[in-house]
Amino acid sequence: MAVDKRFFQSTRGQIVTFLRTGPCTVEELSRKLHLTDNGVRAHLSTLERDGLVRQSGVRRGARKPHFTYTLTDDAERLFPKAYDALVNQLISVLKDRLSPKQIDEVLREVGRAIAANTPKGHSNGLESRVQNALRAFKSIGGAAKLEKHDDKLVIRSHGCPLAAAVSVHPEVCRLAEALVAEIVKAPVKEHCNREQRPQCRFEILSTPT
């Protein structure tokens, strides 16, 4: 689920933020949000449907037990992480100390290492390996799909899991290119769109079996 800052200003976004501090009951959320219990339940139902919230247990009350709600792993991924700033600073330091060729080699080595540590399914045939590459993208926060153009296979994403770094350091695309090439076992060329909101595009240049 893609969200922006406006989500966290909405009632559902506030519920997600409150639940990040720990499990809450409907009654506790209604007090925090100044909503009726039924109003909170309606929002929780939508958040459960979207895979962001789940029931986590039961808490004893004075008259009856109350269900508690907590965040799912998918919801935790909505919150900003410090990783983007760290990656950008790390690459800035590398650029001060290494040549462009050396930086390219380092980024490709990191991409190959990520590929090596990514669980893989069946790898019989190129398209099976491409599916493994799509799963690798998902594991680092991306969502890509396979497209076929004549005799060419293309991995395309309308977003980029490394967007924050790519916007500052375009060479980071080499990391993803090496990751894909290592998994599909074929030459890969990136043709990513780095304007405004980065979008991934990798062409598989040959089709070995």
50, 111: one domain: no
Least confident of 23-27, 161-165, 171-175: 161-165
Last residue of a domain, one of 76, 99, 116: 76
Let me know if residue 209 belongs to a domain: no
Let me know if residue 98 belongs to a domain: yes
pLDDT of 187 above 50: yes
| Percent of the chain with pLDDT strictly greater than 70 | 91
Give the pTM: 0.60
Q: Which domain holds residue 44?
A: 5-76
What average pLDDT does range 128-151 have in this prediction?
83
Last residue of a domain, one of 76, 108, 130: 76
What average pLDDT does range 124-142 have in this prediction?
83
Query: What is the four-CA torsion angle of 178, 122, 136, 98, rounded to 10 degrees?
Result: -20
CB 130 within 8 A of CB 185: no
pLDDT given for residue 28 in this prediction: 94
92, 195: one domain: yes
Closest to 28 in 3D by CA, of 66, 75, 80, 72: 66
Residues 45-74: tens digit of each pLDDT: 999 999 999 998 888 776 778 899 998 878
